[in-house]
Amino acid sequence: MPDSEPTNQNSTQSIAVSPAPTPLYGRIRELFSRGFRIDWANTLFISITHLVFLIGTPVAYWYAPEGFWKIMLGWTIVHMLVGCLSTTVYAHRLIAHGAAKKVSWPVHIVFGFIGQVFAIQGSVRRWAAMHTVHHGVDKSGMHHLDPYSATWFDSTWRNFLWSHMLTYFFFHPDHEAVDRAFSAKSSKLLLWQEKLYLPLLVALNFLLPLALGYWAAGIAGALCLQVAAVGGFILAQHNTWTVNSITHLWGSDRAASSSARNNYIWMGPLGEGNHHADHHDHGQDYRNGFGWSGWLLDPSRYVILLLRACGLVRGLRRASMHKEVQIIARRALQNARSKVHDSNWR
């Protein structure tokens, strides 16, 4: 049985290099004149949960019932890993990019109705739609539409803050590209996940840890386990957010089609960050990275292969060898031109 089905995504595209986008803004406050509005619900939720995490975590561990810290730490780690994997494996590769032709309903239930809810990054349908817009600007050149852009501002620290976190504090202006992404055909399970997202969010991230904590150690246990759960989804959020910030700002081997970079020292997002240039140059590839380093440094790939071995996903897509060579050639040309440009300015 072959490892996967090679694809020639954008195979007719000539070997051309995309220039770096010109910054659109000098200050974050300029966004308000371009139709951006503060999303107060998101802003308050993110702010309050971060305060609970920063202040509540040391207090909870200090006053936790004897030995309960082990349960708290275990909950946080499991919560974070389940949330991260559900975002990287399911919402990102399997849903947003269609890296598999067939995804079985147990995968939708476990990763969509449980794991992605643990991550608290919006419904799967919304996450996939916004991510589609993020990749779409690589082809269209309409970088003002990129919801997670790391190139909008004229300073690195503003680009980092925006792409990593501040973007979630705003309502973005409407555009037909966003409407098309949201109107894309979705399975019935994804539509149900979106309808049930808020009730599931409250149940799994708040009611469940409170109930289990109270059962295990009374009121103190309930409060401590709730703080542990908040820590779990906050760590999952920041871990995956680094893909839009760190791996678009720092690293080696920039993508030919975008600002994305391969950052081989950053393993946090379970294979998403260290192969991000490869991913932006061929998004449909389930592997997310080319070559031997992709095998060594992509835990999300291992999970997808395990799902395939269990018959839960079928028809994995990957770049053909021809496409890989073409992408590598484009990057070599890009690097050569960049060096010539730099030498001309010395």
In a structure prediction context, what are the per-residue pLDDT tens digits for the chain, which is 346 residues long?
445 666 654 443 443 445 567 888 999 999 999 999 999 999 999 999 999 999 999 999 999 999 999 999 999 999 999 999 999 999 999 999 999 999 999 999 999 999 999 999 999 999 999 998 988 887 777 888 889 988 899 999 999 999 999 999 999 988 787 778 877 767 899 999 999 999 999 999 999 999 999 999 999 999 999 999 999 999 999 999 998 888 888 877 666 566 666 666 667 778 787 676 777 777 788 887 777 767 777 889 999 999 999 999 999 998 888 887 777 777 777 766 655 544 444 4
| pLDDT score recorded for residue 177 | 76
Here the contacts of 287-296 (C-beta below 8 Å, separation 24 or greater) are 287/318, 288/93, 289/262, 290/319, 290/324, 290/327, 290/328, 293/264
Q: Where are the beta strands (DSSP E) in the chain?
A: 5-7, 37-38, 100-103, 170-171, 252-254, 261-262, 313-319
| pLDDT score recorded for residue 289 | 76
Please give the biggest Cα pair distance in the chain: 69
Residue 172 lies in a domain: yes
The answer to whether the CB of 273 falls within 8 A of the CB of 246 is: yes
Residue 207 lies in a domain: yes
| pLDDT score recorded for residue 256 | 58
User: What is the identity of the amino acid at 344?
Assistant: N
Q: Which of left, alpha, beta for 46 (phi over 0: left; psi -120 to 50: alpha)?
A: alpha
Residue 324 lies in a domain: no
Residue 272 lies in a domain: no
Residue 320 lies in a domain: no
| pLDDT score recorded for residue 48 | 98
- CA 278, 280, 281, 283 torsion: positive or negative? positive
Residue 104's domain spans which residues? 22-256+307-312
| pLDDT score recorded for residue 20 | 61
Residue 248 lies in a domain: yes
| pLDDT score recorded for residue 345 | 41
Residue 140 lies in a domain: yes
Report the interhelical angle of 299-309 vs 68-85 (nearest 10°).
80
Secondary structure letter of residue 153 according to DSSP: B
| pLDDT score recorded for residue 344 | 45
Please give the tally of structural domains in the chain.
Answer: 1
